[in-house]
Chain A
Amino acid sequence: MKVSIFSTCLVDLMTPKVGIAMVEVLERLGCEIDYPASQVCCGQPTYNSGYLEDSKLAMKNMMLAFESSDYVVGPSGSCVAMFHEYPKIFKGDPDWELKAITLKEKSYEFTQFIVKVLGITDVGASLDGTATYHRSCHMTRLLGEKETPFQLLEHVKGLHMEPLKNSDNCCGFGGTFSVKMPDISEQMVDEKSSCVLDTGADILISADMGCLLNIGGRLSRKGEPVKIMHIAEVLNHRNPVIAKGGSQT
C-alpha cells in the first residue's frame, strides 16, 4: 500500500524525529512511503486568523501536491482536520471543489490510518514508563477521532497510562491565538500543565505537535522534567531485547 506522508510544517521546521518515527512505523507495517516534496502547510494559521484568501493559496498548493496520492497520512489531528474542512471552504468553486473532496476522502491522521485503514492495533511497540495522553481539540472534535490513539497505546508493552483530568479542556495553543492573546493562553496552558503533573506521569503523549510544543514548553519553563513524546515516537519505540547470549541487539 502506497502512503503519501503529509509531514506538516511544524514537523518540517521543529521536530524531524516525529516524521522519522512515523515513516519507520508505517514501513514496519508494510506501507510503501511516498513524499510529495511540493507540500508546505495546510493553511490553518492564516485561515484561523481570518485571512481566507491568503489561506486558499496554501490549500490549493496542498491539493495539487497530493493529487496523485492514494492515501495521505499526517502526524497531526489538527492539520488533517484542516484538510477535512477544504470541501466547505471551496464549496461551489468549479476548479477546486472536487479536488477538495478527493483530498478529504483520502486523508487520515496517523493513528486513525493504522487502526481504521490498516486494521492494526498492536504495532509491536514497547516502552517502559508511566504516561498520560493529551487529546487535541481538533483531532477529537473536528476530525471526530477519539479512540484510535488509546487503542494503539493499550498495546504498547510496559507502558502504563494515567488518565488526565479535564482532558477535554483545550491546552491554550490555538495556533495564532497563543501569540495574539498570550495572557489568556498562558493561563490555559498553565492549568493544563498542572493537570499533567497531577497524574504523576513521566511522559506526556499526544497526536498533535502544536499542543505538545505548547504544554511541553510550559513544563520546561517551570523546570518540570516530564518527557514529551509524539504518539508516533511511542509507537516506534522498542525496548532493547536481551539476546540469549546476554548481549544487547
Chain B
Amino acid sequence: MSLQTDKRDFSERTTDGLGDSFMRNAVGSAQDSLKTRRLSAATALGDWEQWRTAGQQIRQHTLQNLDYYLEQLAGNIEKKGGHIYFAATKEEASSYIRDVIVQKKAKKIVKSKSMVTEEIELNHVLIEAGCELIETDLGEYILQMDDWDPPSHIVAPALHKDRRQIQRVFTEKLGYTDDESPEKLARFARKVLRQKFLEAEVGITGCNFAVANLGAINLVTNEGNGDLTAAIPKTHIAVMGMERIVPTLAEMEVLDNLLCRSAVGQKLTSYITVMGPSVAGDTDGPEEFHLVVVDNGRSDILGSEFNEALQCIRCGACLNVCPVYRHIGGHAYGSIYPGPIGAVITPLLGGYDDYKELPFASSLCAACTDVCPVRIPLHEQLILHRQNIVKENRTGSMERFQMKAAGRLLSSPALFGKTLRFAHPASRLMSKHGRIVRGPELIQGWIGARDLSQPVKQQDSFRAWLDKRKGESGE
C-alpha cells in the first residue's frame, strides 16, 4: 500500500462508495455508537474544552521546538544503545528497514498497525525482499488476508467489512470452518497469530508518541498485538512520523487521554506501553531497537499555512463525525488517510495532481473542527486548499467564469438590483408550475434531487415590500 490506494477518478470512487449500502450501514452505525461513547468519555474528564486547549498547546509547543525535541530523543535513544534513523523520503525509510532485516538474514516479520508504514510502502518493499510479513492488528490481518484490501479508517482499518465478509475471507484463505460469530473469528485469528509472534525474528510497530526525554516510544492499543510485536522478536523496529513526539511523560498522559477518548470513547485503551532500547537489568524484550523517523514531506508542511495539520494525533474522531465520510466511506478518498484530516494532509503529502477533489469533498459543516481533540481548524484548512487550487488554475474554466461573475454580481448593488428584477422572468423558460425543471449544470445538480421554486417576482420581493411600506408611512 502507498499513500494512494486507488488510482481511479474521485467521482468513480465516490459512486462505488455511495452504491455500497452495506459499507454505508456499517459506517453509519459505527459513527452513531462512537458519538455517544466519545461524548461520555470526554465528559467524564471534566472540562473537555480545557483538555483540548492543553492538547493543542502541547502539540504547538512541540512543533515549534521540533528540532530540539528530535535531537533530545535521538541522543537519549543512542545513549541507551538504540539506533535512530532520520529518513527524508519514504524510499529512504523503507530501504533502511529492509537493510536492517536483510543484514540479519531475517525472513519472518510481524507488524502491528501503523499508518506511516503504509505511507512508506513498507509491506511492498519487504515482500519484494522475500520476507514473510504478517499484519497482527486484527483489522489489518483481515485486510491482508483479503489480498491487501486497503484500509478505510485510520483507527479501524476494516470498518467497511462485516462479520460475514470476514468469515468468507477466513474460510477461503485460511481454511476456517466455523460460523460468523465475532468471538470465534477472533479466537481463530488469535491462534494463527500467536504462532507467528513466536516465530518472528523482527517486529515492526508504529509509534503513537515518542517521549523525547526518555528516549522511548509510547504505544496505544486494544488488542495487545503491538506489545507482542515489540516484545517477542529479537529486533524491534518502530516507525514514526517526524512530528509524533512529546517532551515528557506528563504531556504524553494528556495526549493519551485525548487520544483514547476521541478515538474509541474509552478512558484508556487496554494497553498503553512505553518502551524503547533495552536497559541493563532487563531480563526479556528485544535485543536491538531501531527508531525510524519519517519526514516524507512533513518539513515542507512545518511552518507553512498548514502547520496546524501536523498537530494531528491520528485519533480518527473527525472521520467518526464527518457526514461526507459517512456516505462515501474511506476508500472513496483514495488515500490511506481518509476523512477530513485525510482531505487536508493527503494533498500535502501527495500533491494536487492526484488529490485536488478531496478538499471539496466537504460541506464545511465544521463537525471535524468541533471534535478535534487538538483543535486543528480542519474546515478552514480545507478552504485554504480550495484557495490554492483556485490560485493554481486547477478548477474548470466554466467554474472560474461563473465565480468571477458571481464575485461581481454579489458586490454590486446595481447588478444585484437588476438580478432581482430579471430573475423571475428569466426563470420562466426553465420552469413549470412555479418550479424550476431545467437549467445549466449547476441547477441540474440541485434539481436532480430536490424541488426548487422560481425566484420571487420583483414586485413581491422583500425590498419591494419595504419600499411600499415606506411609501405608505410617508403619506
Q: Report how many residues on chain B are interfacial, defined by Cβ distance under 8 Å.
A: 64
Q: B360, B383, B385, B449: which has the most chain A beta carbons within 10 Å? A: B449
Question: Cβ of A186 < 8 Å from any Cβ of B?
Answer: yes
**Measured between alpha carbons, how far is A177 from B14 in the docked complex, in Å?**
14
Given A15-B456, A54-B407, A187-B327, also A174-B449 (CB < 8 A)? no
- Point out the residues of chain A lying under 8 angstroms from B443, CB to CB: 179
Find residues 426-475 in chain B having any chain A CB closer than 8 Å to their own CB.
441-446, 448-453, 455-456, 460-466
Question: Cβ of B367 < 8 Å from any Cβ of A?
Answer: yes
- Point out the residues of chain A lying under 8 angstroms from B463, CB to CB: 7, 12, 35, 37
**Measured between alpha carbons, how far is A173 from B451 in the docked complex, in Å?**
14
Looking at the complex, which of A102-110, A120-128, A136-144 is the stretch in contact with chain B?
A: A136-144
Given A37-B463, A40-B416, A50-B389, also A183-B15 (CB < 8 A)? yes
Question: Cβ of B364 < 8 Å from any Cβ of A?
Answer: yes
Given A16-B461, A187-B18, also A181-B323 (CB < 8 A)? no
- Point out the residues of chain A lying under 8 angstroms from B395, CB to CB: 50
State whether B420 touches A168 (Cβ < 8 A): no
Question: Cβ of A60 < 8 Å from any Cβ of B?
Answer: yes
State whether A48 touches B383 (Cβ < 8 A): yes
**Measured between alpha carbons, how far is A214 from B451 in the docked complex, in Å?**
9
Q: Does more than half of chain B's interface fall in helix, strand or loop, or is it mixed? A: helix
Question: Cβ of A51 < 8 Å from any Cβ of B?
Answer: yes
Given A60-B411, A138-B366, A170-B323, also A189-B450 (CB < 8 A)? yes
> How near does chain A come to B466, taking the closest CB pair, in angstroms?
5
Contact with A along B357-377 (1 / 0, CB 8 A): 000111111110110000000
**Measured between alpha carbons, how far is A175 from B460 in the docked complex, in Å?**
25
- Point out the residues of chain B lying under 8 angstroms from A151, CB to CB: none
State whether A182 touches B448 (Cβ < 8 A): yes
Question: Cβ of B30 < 8 Å from any Cβ of A?
Answer: no
State whether B324 touches A186 (Cβ < 8 A): no
State whether A57 touches B407 (Cβ < 8 A): yes
Question: Cβ of B408 < 8 Å from any Cβ of A?
Answer: yes
Q: Does more than half of chain A's interface fall in helix, strand or loop, or is it mixed? A: helix
Given A16-B460, A16-B462, also A168-B367 (CB < 8 A)? yes
Nearest B residue to A136 via CB reads B365
State whether B462 touches A7 (Cβ < 8 A): yes
Question: Cβ of B404 < 8 Å from any Cβ of A?
Answer: yes
State which of A50, A57, A180, A217 has its C-beta within 8 Å of the C-beta of B452: A217
**Measured between alpha carbons, how far is A182 from B450 in the docked complex, in Å?**
10
State which of A15, A37, A184 has its C-beta within 8 Å of the C-beta of B324: A184
Nearest B residue to A59 via CB reads B411
Contact with A along B320-348 (1 / 0, CB 8 A): 01011011100000000000000000000
Given A61-B413, A188-B323, also A50-B449 (CB < 8 A)? no
> How near does chain A come to B385, taking the closest CB pair, in angstroms?
8
State whether B462 touches A221 (Cβ < 8 A): no
Question: Cβ of B102 < 8 Å from any Cβ of A?
Answer: no
New contact pairs (18) apart from A16-B464, A40-B413, A41-B410, CB-CB < 8 Å: A7-B462, A12-B416, A13-B461, A20-B465, A37-B413, A49-B390, A49-B403, A50-B386, A58-B407, A61-B411, A61-B412, A141-B366, A142-B366, A170-B363, A174-B362, A182-B444, A213-B450, A220-B451
